[in-house]
Structure 1
Amino acid sequence: MATAVIMPRQGQSVESCLIGEWHVRRGDQVKKDDPLFTYETDKATFDEVSPVDGEVIAVFFEEGDDVPVLLNVLVIGQAGEDWKEFIPEGASADGADQTADAGSTKVDAPEKSQAIAAHAVKQDPVPISPKASPVDAPISPRARTLATKSKADLRYASGSGPGGRIIERDINALVAAGHLATSAAGADYTAGISGSGIGGRVRVDDLDQIPAISVQETPAASLPLSELPEYEDIKLSGIRKIIGDAMHSSLTNMAQLTLNTSFDAGDIIEFRNRLKEAKTKGLDQLLGFSLLEKVPTFNDIILYAVSRTVLRYPDCNAHLLDDKMRHFNHVHLGMAVDTPRGLMVPVIRNADSMSIREIAAEAVSLAEAAQSGAINPDLLSGSTITISNLGSLGIESFTPVINPPETCLLGVNNISTRLRMEDGEAVPYQAMGLSLTFDHRAVDGAPAARFLQGLVKNLENFQLLMMEN
């Protein structure tokens, strides 16, 4: 019996996923748990495996397609078996020229599909900008794919999604209104181009306003220097594009300012050394000190100190939402993690109620999940303040970019030896740098500086902070 493989739902907030890479093609024989395809959310990458043994008898989508969750992606069965009943709406490969059976678009979810359709009928008309302008608003992966296929002119788009995000219905509205680029010009052009065609459409001649970019893959083979190509163009992944859009939107829409300071790291260094010495003496076994099972890192200490400090400065543990500030009664720490797929920010929820040992364990678990690509997208949202640590890379100071709609992001720098005057003598000490970026629309300089000052005091007296908590 034929078995349809659907696009999984990775988290409650995910509506669609991009197919990144196919590992099989029609006619291939597969075994249960063999990898079928790689798919991407706007936060992470996953692999879908085969639920059964059999032959791939239909593949409905191509690499790069944005597929709604719970939609049929491919069918596994026996050679010659009929698969037409599984054809989903919007198929771009097998079944693209045929009409899907209305009841088979989604597996085990017909009632939900009908509810969504009924809701769509009641939506208000989507506004369209009367004047072309550069595209600054973020755009969903599904909307970007539709814009490329339909050649919609994004310069006229008015985002109707959360935070002004351009979503699929905004693209449909552009197409309905006739705001398109010409077929020859395509849709992949810089948003600031002034179209000279009818109605402001971008024509081929307009593309001369920017350097032409040839997107081609040239394998970096082992060739003599004279035979190597001058450069290689590598297509950006979906996650890389989303990260880029988010960073650009953050810097464009916020009034960001960074304060830099440093603190005497002697107390946190002594704290870690005492724990290491106690562990060497076997006190974790003799006295049952659970904290000695894994000595907290400097990053764990920073996370703990922020969770205990920021609640006294509510504007720094907040979201700026249009015309209001949302102050949170608990601290949900975003933790910037470098992964092979790009920057991810998993969230340690309710960190203010966790012990330093619990924070350390959660940080390790989330980082490993993010780096492996197996993290649930729901764990990558909802932070109230984010920490980005580049100290291990020797960075002395940097300007972190805020993760909207948060109002602050704390950058952690390296430890270096500095001098200070004591009784007329220059005395060396170990200093750690901190860089706090804040949104000046939401927080003034003095309150941001007071938060940074309070954090410094807690870190310089960390062992007292631990005793207090």
Structure 2
Amino acid sequence: MATYTFNLPDIGEGIAEAEIVAWHVKVGDRVEEDGRIADMMTDKATVEMESPVSGVIRKVAGAEGDVIAIGSMLVEIETEGEAVDAPAQEEAAPSPEVIEAETPKAPPAEAAAPAPAPSAAPVVPKAASGDGPLPSQASDHGGEKVLASPVVRQRARDLGIDLAKVRPAEGNRIRHADLDAYLNFGGTRAGPGRAADEEIRVIGMRKRIAQNMAESKRHIPHFTYVEEIDVTKMEEMRAEMNESRGSRPKLTALPILIAAICKTLREYPMLNARYDDEANVVTRFGAVHLGIATQTDAGLMVPVLRGAESLSVWDMASEIARLAEAARSGKAKSEELSGSTLTLTSLGPLGGIATTPVINRPEVAIIGPNKIVERPMVVDGAVVIRKMMNLSISCDHRVVDGYDAASFVQALKRRIETPIYIFAD
């Protein structure tokens, strides 16, 4: 017998440490080569660590929520054969697989004990693939043989997953992360009923969200301005555009609102900016890299619509749908979740009367359109039914004056209420 020390490898440029967000093994468990060990989070990306050797887990670095440094011990594995020295281990260590969103969470750990083995993962019912038996795991993707390690195949069998229905994130080799993404969509949820009280440790994506929101409120003096906008003409125009869209994607109100925002930002560049409060430098951006707050099973994520000012509303619709799908399925890349210069957050039909959104630091503003409702309004002395929408904007008062925020919203309102100005130069 020999002991193999698996140190946490370099999992990204400039990354010095990572948080343990989920253990898939515990002391005493046997792990096979390519078997899942743990999920490690850095910034907004979750990285899945797989074992480079087979053996029995003898030691783990800590509990879920603990932060460990790159290069430090993650696990010690008892293997058969001679010991492997550290340099050889680093050469043998596999490249980590980035899955970009939290995997299904294991039950909370007790005290400092590691989490349970992954047997508690949600199960996809076999009925989802039809009433008959599941096809062979050696199925095809469009004529190509499905590639997966024995450990992945065994896990798929245990969960009742047909590998032919799993879409790999890269190439044609299916990994554990691809099974996790499949479970996020096909997994069953517990039915209603009275639940016992429980304490849940705040880790992973939820911990990052909590930290970011606290930092934003702690450092940024927010103010929020709300205005109501008549979107009747905009909605009529959108309906006409959808009738003649052909093979192009169906337009929601969001791409048209974004087009109006981008056009209005030309006159108010102080809102498309970032504030470095340590260096006391405000950077105004020419391009609009719009963060779109998206709710996922892993928590709130903000994929970025890059160069929004140069996109048509049809291109925006396609890219918004792609980014939202990537975020919700755990396939969004790190570069797609960073670099925004302004954020838009919308709750759609749940938008309420008004919102007071929290700024995505170090940006200086965030825009929140609320739901569209029909209301009686007085127009030219007559009461008519109009489609109305309240729009909120929160700004960093250190950089943006109230007058400028109000002026921006009024200019935006004029464009939306007379939508031809959205597309006119």
TM-score normalised to structure 1 length:
0.61
C-alpha distance in structure 2 between counterparts of 1:335 and 1:450, whole Å = 23
SS at match of 1:389: coil
Aligned to 1:293: 248
Q: Distance in 2 between matches of 1:72 and 1:14?
A: 16
Structure 1 residue 268 corresponds to structure 2 residue 238: no
SS of corresponding position for 2:266: helix
Q: Pairwise CA RMSD of aligned residues?
A: 3.4
Larger radius of gyration: 1
Rounded to whole Å, the distance in 2 between the matches of 1:2 and 1:360 is 54
Q: Deviations over 1:226-274 (max 9, x none)?
A: xx86x32211123323322221221222221100012111233123312
Matching residue of 1:55: 55
Residues 45-444 of structure 1 mapped to structure 2, 5 A cutoff: 45-50=46-51, 54-56=54-56, 60-64=60-64, 65-69=66-70, 73-74=74-75, 78-83=79-84, 85-86=85-86, 107=91, 231-279=197-245, 284=246, 292-322=247-277, 323-444=280-401
Distance in 1 separating the partners of 2:301 and 2:327? 7
For residue 180 of structure 1, what is the aligned residue in structure 2? none
Which of 395, 407, 419 is 1:450 aligned to?
407
Write 1 or 2 for the structure with the bigger share of strand.
Answer: 2
State the partner residue of 1:116: none
Cα distance between partner residues in 2 of 1:294 and 1:432: 23
Whether the 8 Å CA contact 1:262–1:433 is kept in 2: the answer is yes
1:7 deviates by: 4.2
Q: Rate the CA distance shift 1:70–1:242 in 2: closer, same or farther, 3 A.
A: same
Aligned residues between the structures: 325
Deviation at 1:364, TM superposition (A): 2.1
Amino acid aligned to 1:318: A
**CA 1:31–1:343 in 2, change beyond 3 Å: closer, same or farther?**
same
Question: Which deviations, in whole Å up to 9, do the C-alpha atoms of 1:279-307 show, x marking residues without a partner?
Answer: 5xxxx2xxxxxxx4211222222223222
CA distance in 2 between counterparts of 1:235 and 1:378 reads: 28
Offset at residue 465 of structure 1 (A) = 2.2
Question: Could you say if the C-alpha distance between residues 428 and 238 of structure 1 is closer, same or farther in structure 2, counting changes exceeding 3 Å?
Answer: same
Shift of 1:10: 5.5
CA distance in 1: counterparts of 2:326 and 2:6, whole angstroms: 24
Q: Which amino acid aligns with 2:226?
A: N
Q: Distance in 2 between matches of 1:360 and 1:10?
A: 33
- Residue pair 2:4, 2:79 contacting (<8 A) in 1 also: no
Q: 1:453 to 1:373 in 2, by over 3 A?
A: same
Moved more, 379-388 or 358-367: 358-367
Q: 1:13 to 1:456 in 2, by over 3 A?
A: farther
CA distance in 2, matches of 1:232, 1:76: 33
Spell out, residue by residue over 1:406-433, the C-alpha distance to the aligned partner (whole angstroms, 9 max, x if none): 1111011000112322342111100111
Question: Could you report, residue by residue, the CA deviation over 1:317-367 in whole angstroms, capped at 9, with x for unpaired residues?
Answer: 111223222111111111111122222222222222222223222222222
- Check whether the contact 1:414–1:433 (CA below 8 A) recurs between aligned residues: yes
Q: Which has the higher contact order (CA 8 A, sep 6+)?
A: 2
Runs of 5+ unmatched residues, structure 1: 87-102, 110-148, 150-220, 285-291
In structure 2, distance between residues paired with 1:312 and 1:70? 49
Structure 1 range deviating more: 24-33 or 412-421: 24-33
Contact 2:275 2:363 in 1 (8 A): yes
Residue in 1 that maps onto 2:105:
none
1:45·1:373 contact (CA, 8 Å) conserved in 2? no
CA contact (8 A) 1:417 1:428 kept: yes
For each residue in 1:375-426, what CA deviation from the matched residue of structure 2 results, as whole angstroms up to 9, or x when unmatched?
A: 3333322211110102321412010011111111101100011232234211
Q: Percent identity, aligned pairs only?
A: 35
Structure 2 gaps of 5+ residues are 94-111, 113-189
Return the alpha-carbon distance in structure 2 between the equivalents of residues 9 and 373 of structure 1: 21
Distance 2:200 2:289 in 1: 36
Q: Is the 8 A contact 2:351 2:370 kept in 1?
A: yes
Using a 3 Å threshold, how does the CA distance of structure 1 residues 411 and 6 change in structure 2: closer, same or farther? farther
Q: Would you say the 8 A contact 2:323–2:332 is kept in 1? A: yes
CA pair 77-396 structure 1, distance change in 2 beyond 3 A: same
